Structure 1
Amino acid sequence: MNIYFIKFESNYHYVRLIIKGLKQKGVTVRKTTYPSPMSSFSIAVNGGVFHINWPEFYYKMGKGLIKMLVSIMLALSLIISMMIMRFLFGIRVVFSLHNLLPHNSERRWLDRIVYSAVIFCSSSVICHCIKAKELINEHYPTYSGKVIVIPHPNFMGVYGDKMNKYEMRDILNLPQDVYIYIFFGKVRAYKGIKELVKEFREVGGTEDRLLIVGSDDGTGYIEEIKRIAGDDERIMIRGIWVLDEFVNLYMSCADCLVLPYRDILTSGGVLLSAQYCIPLVAPAIGCIPEQVDGRMAVLYDEGGLGDALRRIKGLKEREVIEGSRAVMERTALDVVTNRLIEDVYGGGEELSC
């Protein structure tokens, strides 16, 4: 049997990791297009499971009346193709639901229709924690029996090893004898970076630094953050896209990772703190409390970011390392892949080549 992934989605680390894990288990992996009658027929002839992650990539078109009409047409095409795939050809469909609805959506009503339809057409819906399953059952109660909890795999093997902190600071032209909080990742409004800058300006000490690293993809959001930072020299903003091979440089130079999401269900980013054994500051929302270990993180409720930035310095290095190792063990790619094969795709014996 074959497992089919969408070619465009395979550019994203989650899908690339799953494909890597499946191939290591001897499972045949193929890439295809977003659902269409032709691709559905091909999968039906060859036999296999179709795994989709982000249906919005197919129909999301931006603002404006014309783009809205095109989005609606593409969404309808996707829904019809999914129904043909599932109910005409009898193909097993798996949907990894990373968020209840897409981030930064212009048309949440359309997203809700599409997500409901994709869940309806799916044999199994994967989420990454028990809280996510509860929220999915709350938002899509008709389909609660399809939801399976499988953790998000960590990024071991994707990014480089941890390096010497002080050597990395030299390379990146960062000060040595300071405590560096780092925000790392795509710069988006829902990630709460403005709030982080404001809180840091209030609670950060003279020997503290806030390093913000990531691209806003031309939205201008970084300029807004710079205006809030003002002339505070403790705040260093690098609006760049960091290639995979350089991620370990930035993670190695930091004392603490801060991901102050305003809204999130699943975050692959929180697993970076475990991989590099640095403490994490994040809100106690979505899957984050289940993804991390209490020994390596300070999680906060609404309004508690400033206090968390202070408290994180009190964590003991040994406990951070032990907590990080525990997270890495339970999110290992081998563990996740075995669960997918046994609980989602239909059984290890059937899938081996």
Structure 2
Amino acid sequence: MTAEDAEDRHEADADERADERIAELEAAITTLQGQLGRLRSERVALANDLDEAQRQLRRVYTSSTWRAGRLAIGGPARLARAVRGNPRARELVRRLRSRGASPSVSTARRALPAVAADIVVTQRPEARSAYESALSRAAFSGTATGIVMAVSTTDLDEGRGDLYTAIGLGRALEELGYEVIYRAPDRWYDPPAGTDVFVAMLAERTAMVDPLRLPGGVTRLAWARNLTKVWSTSGTLPFYDGVLCSSRATLRSLQRVYDGPMALLRIAVDDQLFRAQGHTRGDLVVATVNAWGRERRLHRTLRELDVDFPLALFGQQRGTGADLAAHARGPISFFALPALYSQAALVLDDVQDVNVAHGNVNARIFESLACGALPIANAAGGLHEVGLEAVPVADGAKSLADVIARFREHPAARDHLVAQLQDVVLRRHTYRARAASFHEFLTERVGRRDGTSVQVTDRPAVVGFFPDYRATNPYQDMLYRRAHAHHLVAVPTDDPAELARSPAMADRRLAVHVHWTATVLGPASSRGDAQARCDRFLAGLDAVKERGGSVLWTVHNTMPHECRYPAVEERLRAGLVERCDLVHVMCPETADLLPETVRLPPDRTVVVGHGSYVDVYPNVVTPSQARLELGVPPDAAVLLFLGGIRPYKGLDELLDAFAVVSRERGDLRLLVAGAPGRFHEAEQLVARCEAHPAVLTHTATVPDTELQTYLNACDAVVLPHRTVLNSGGLQLAWSFGRPVIARRAGCLTGQVAEPAGRLFDGQDELRTALRAIDQLRTGAARRASYERAVAYPYTAMSEEFCALVSKLVTEVP
């Protein structure tokens, strides 16, 4: 046998063994697929059983007994009898046992709808009548200070916490001699005659009071009970006469954007409603946390537990998962909570994720303690501020199980702790105490007893900026970061003229700052419509000027991208310049790059460059981690095209050049990350990207937290934009220490230089720049890029710009 024959025989034997192994694996896969199918069928059957159990429970909840306000759920003996008498339940237990599970442990408790305790839930009709009476006031008498509480609804059966909070405080205020009316959103801006004070309580994007629409002569108060970030970024706070906060962290956060009177006004308890009802207190654990389609942290924790204790989950339970369905007891009336808490040993609290950092304590903590139940919190923030630092905190499944077990085993210790904490609540955290604080704030910090506002003569000047692009572009937040230091507040506005006419601006200096003009003409349906929109916008700026306001314009581009009516756009820009007190450009060459019809006045034009993004976006992912995550070879030469895919950005030219150069070197890769625009060309570009084996494509908007992955995975960022004036992409690349390959256009011509980048013009120069990628992969190139970024941080940009605006509004008569 020759060596070649031996080698052939060896290969044949290896092939035969490989074929046998493949056959074995295929048989194993077939077996596993069959098992998986059976498991799926069994899971579906179990889910159906749980659905049936839920339907049975719903029939109880919708019964006349439940609607009358009283429900009794049997204990373990009644459950056992129900199982024995129900063939479907018996079959479910049998199937659980066949799976190796015992119906006596948590699996069965989750699967069967029962709790090991009797629960009697009874509403307090006299309390409900008191709340209904509070809602019945329709007009002010004119003999007392009239307060309007802006709430989400005036329907007590909708279960909205802001309404119960408002009435709790309002009833206590009426004891002090005030008169209070509660208004739902459809009547917010039509307050009754005699309204002296208007209190905004909601920070929901779809339901938030606009103080500019309120009539003059009314003291406007904002009560930031939660959702601190929404309050701080809404732009509405500067137009309130006072701000009340439910925690010190919220107060500190809002002080950055509000210079007026502020004070603490925490959530509290209506101690006339929430008190022990005389029920026998067992070892029941309850939760009254609503889930409106998104699973709450508490529910995630409970799903990890072996629930070997009596558990009842009240409230809306949408999105909590089938494994908690057996413990669900459905919605519960606010006026039945005292009866529930009077029977519970432990009450599980849940702080929404958006409120954890600001220590906003839930009313549930105060209400359960007032009724003698011990709450278990899942966040400690804010508890020490209210003297309740001894409330047990469990931030995970193990700690929650330990806390529940400890207090169930030692009820005397639980009762002793409750007595101490209850004393704190009833002394310090009732709505009577809050009403006294409100009265002091209103009379001593904001205005007089009759509700008339104190005139503040040195309020910060308002910078109303248009349009608001902060949701997708951090530039405006960066530019106004130092506004507070210069006695300015920046707020978004859709209508500069309406802002100038608002009663809230009567004693305020105003500067309207126009950014991108694309939103003015972009929605136009015809040339005539575009002209009308142009005229209305310029008339609005005239109204600002007539009321003593200033007008500023930041020139972001030579013309809007995809501009459909260039002649009208030029007229709009020329009219804008005529009305401007200050024109802001980002490089000295801007005036020469604009259309001839748009001439910038040198004496009113200032240059403030584009600051870097250092510390704006997270940057902790290493290049090796980033490449591993994206599937990029560790030694590849990687280019990045980042941002929305639109025709003007020149991706087609980049793909043309890349197709040539990638054939010359096999280690070249191109990352394309960004959402395609609504253009036919964009679809074609995406198809080209996906067809090229060396192009890795992510056709979606890149979240802020993931920008670091793409930027740290690349060696250079390519900016092939056909039309460009300024480039945030340039600063973004340098902020991550990445050099650029950019078209020789706009301000970039004077900004990009080796080793921090290379310029090109046309296909030949672009291919040459791509071939020179190794020169941009060096440590020196990265250091030079990062040095360009840190040389002008966004805080320096903001300081320079805000100082100019502050000087402008001070000089305008």
2:652 pairs with 1:194: yes
Q: Which residue of 51, 59, 64 corresponds with 2:513?
A: 51
Q: 1:203 to 1:316 in 2, by over 3 A?
A: closer
Q: 1:316 to 1:202 in 2, by over 3 A?
A: closer
In the alignment, which residue of structure 2 is the partner of 1:40? 500
2:612 pairs with 1:157: no
* Structure 1: distance between partners of 2:653 and 2:496: 43
Structure 2 regions of 5+ residues with no counterpart?
1-460
**Offset of residue 56 of structure 1:** 2.5
Give the letter for the 1:93 counterpart: V
SS in 1 for 2:728: coil
**Offset of residue 202 of structure 1:** 0.6
Deviation string, structure 1 residues 220-245 (Cα, Å, up to 9, x no partner): 44421144457431122221111111
In the TM superposition, 1:65-80 aligns within 5 A as: 65=526, 68-80=527-539
Give the letter for the 1:76 counterpart: D
* Structure 2: distance between partners of 1:53 and 1:347: 17
For structure 1, which segment, 162-171 or 263-272, has the greater mean C-alpha deviation from structure 2 after superposition?
162-171
In the alignment, which residue of structure 2 is the partner of 1:288? 748
Count residues with an aligned counterpart.
345
In the TM superposition, 1:130-169 aligns within 5 A as: 130-136=588-594, 139-141=597-599, 143-169=601-627
In the TM superposition, 1:20-31 aligns within 5 A as: 20-23=481-484, 25=485, 27-31=487-491
Contact 1:32 1:39 (8 Å CA) reproduced: no
In the alignment, which residue of structure 2 is the partner of 1:83? 542
* Structure 1: distance between partners of 2:683 and 2:532: 35
SS in 2 for 1:46: coil
Give the letter for the 2:717 counterpart: L
Contact 2:740 2:756 (8 Å CA) reproduced: yes
SS in 1 for 2:483: helix
In the alignment, which residue of structure 2 is the partner of 1:311? 772
Contact 1:180 1:211 (8 Å CA) reproduced: yes
In the TM superposition, 1:242-261 aligns within 5 A as: 242-261=702-721
SS in 1 for 2:481: helix
Contact 1:3 1:50 (8 Å CA) reproduced: yes
Between structure 1 and structure 2, the one with the greater Rg is 2
2:736 pairs with 1:273: no
**Offset of residue 309 of structure 1:** 0.8
SS in 2 for 1:282: strand
* Structure 1: distance between partners of 2:506 and 2:562: 35
Q: 1:92 to 1:224 in 2, by over 3 A?
A: same
In the alignment, which residue of structure 2 is the partner of 1:300? 760
Alpha-carbon RMSD across the aligned residues, in angstroms, is: 2.5
Give the letter for the 1:200 counterpart: F
Q: Which residue of 574, 577, 584 corresponds with 1:126?
A: 584
Give the letter for the 1:208 counterpart: L
Contact 2:727 2:748 (8 Å CA) reproduced: yes
* Structure 1: distance between partners of 2:645 and 2:686: 12
* Structure 2: distance between partners of 1:145 and 1:236: 49
* Structure 2: distance between partners of 1:241 and 1:254: 18
* Structure 2: distance between partners of 1:44 and 1:321: 52
**Offset of residue 61 of structure 1:** 1.2
**Offset of residue 146 of structure 1:** 2.1
2:683 pairs with 1:223: yes
Contact 2:609 2:797 (8 Å CA) reproduced: yes
* Structure 1: distance between partners of 2:752 and 2:808: 29
Q: 1:279 to 1:97 in 2, by over 3 A?
A: same
* Structure 2: distance between partners of 1:79 and 1:347: 21
2:724 pairs with 1:264: yes
SS in 1 for 2:755: helix
Contact 1:162 1:251 (8 Å CA) reproduced: no
Q: 1:17 to 1:83 in 2, by over 3 A?
A: same
In the alignment, which residue of structure 2 is the partner of 1:60? 522
In the alignment, which residue of structure 1 is the partner of 2:697? 237
Deviation string, structure 1 residues 121-144 (Cα, Å, up to 9, x no partner): 111111111121332495523634
Contact 1:271 1:292 (8 Å CA) reproduced: no
Contact 1:293 1:323 (8 Å CA) reproduced: no
Q: 1:120 to 1:162 in 2, by over 3 A?
A: farther
In the TM superposition, 1:327-338 aligns within 5 A as: 327-338=788-799
Q: 1:148 to 1:261 in 2, by over 3 A?
A: same
SS in 2 for 1:295: coil
2:641 pairs with 1:179: no
The alignment's TM-score, normalised by the length of structure 2, stands at: 0.40
2:556 pairs with 1:98: yes
In the alignment, which residue of structure 1 is the partner of 2:28? none
* Structure 2: distance between partners of 1:330 and 1:347: 27
**Offset of residue 6 of structure 1:** 3.2
SS in 1 for 2:480: helix
For structure 1, which segment, 256-265 or 162-171, has the greater mean C-alpha deviation from structure 2 after superposition?
162-171
Q: 1:186 to 1:112 in 2, by over 3 A?
A: same
For structure 1, which segment, 238-247 or 155-164, has the greater mean C-alpha deviation from structure 2 after superposition?
155-164
**Offset of residue 168 of structure 1:** 1.2
Identity of aligned residues (%): 20
Give the letter for the 2:735 counterpart: Q
Contact 1:293 1:327 (8 Å CA) reproduced: no
Q: 1:217 to 1:135 in 2, by over 3 A?
A: closer
Give the letter for the 2:695 counterpart: I
SS in 2 for 1:346: helix
Q: Which residue of 334, 339, 346 corresponds with 2:807?
A: 346
Q: 1:30 to 1:230 in 2, by over 3 A?
A: closer
Contact 2:735 2:790 (8 Å CA) reproduced: no
The alignment's TM-score, normalised by the length of structure 1, stands at: 0.89
SS in 2 for 1:281: strand
* Structure 2: distance between partners of 1:246 and 1:237: 15
